[in-house]
Amino acid sequence: MAKLNQIIAVEKGVKSKSFQELTQSHQDLQKAPLLAGLSRTYQPKDEEGEQLPPESTRVQVKAEDVLRTTAATLTRLFDVTATKDWANTEARADVVVDGRTLVAGAPVTYLLFLEKQLTDLRTFVRKLPVLDAAESWSLDPSTDAWKTEAVRTIRTRKVPRNHVKAEATEKHPAQVEVYYEDVPVGYWTTVKFSGALPARRVNELLERVEKLQQAVQFAREEANGAEVTDRRVGDAFFGYLFG
């Protein structure tokens, strides 16, 4: 008895072969000369007339033959696909992580859905915002966000000052240069807040996603290893359609 994964492997080749043969049959039926035959003989009016050889063309393609060939080709495809689809409704496996069953008796189609979703989730988790490693963060219960320690900085203001380069004399005024001095006028106390996640948390989530991915893949392989019952639907289908 075949296994589901064997049927899945065979189905692709059967589909490809069926498509090629159906395409060829369709093209042959569109070529009128292949469907046409001819037979004619020549008889002169009298015995002295010119004798001409008979002419004939054989029918190369018969529509009924093409129908039978098409039915045989598609019957195989219909049977293989039916066997796979029926088996997919019966083949099941558990998704188990660290000895804990997260999903019991999941059908193959759902396991395939989970694989796709977990691939997307892994991308999502990898792009989660991470706290700046250059800062020291702690969780603030009042805001439910991460915050840094308070940092105090001086606020200054530029105050103009005069620098006398040369004193005034009877003949010349004093030479004075204006410059600006930073004078402390107050203090800023700064606390940074962030809604990002610690790198440890992101790495933990990523590890969990990858564990789930492996568990789902294992479950799918287990389900695909189930034995299948061959289904025969093509004969009845095409027996009615082309019969």
Using an 8 Å Cβ cutoff, are 225 and 5 in contact? yes
pLDDT digits (tens, 9 = 90+) for 25-56: 989 889 998 889 989 998 888 888 888 899 99
Per-residue pLDDT at 169 exceeds 70: yes
Using an 8 Å Cβ cutoff, are 229 and 86 in contact? yes
pTM of the shown model: 0.66
Which three-class secondary structure string do you get for 167-182? CCCCCCCCEEEEEEEE
pLDDT digits (tens, 9 = 90+) for 181-219: 999 999 999 999 999 999 999 999 999 999 999 999 999
How is the chain split into domains, by residue range? 1-91+230-243, 93-136+198-224, 150-190
| pLDDT for 1 | 66
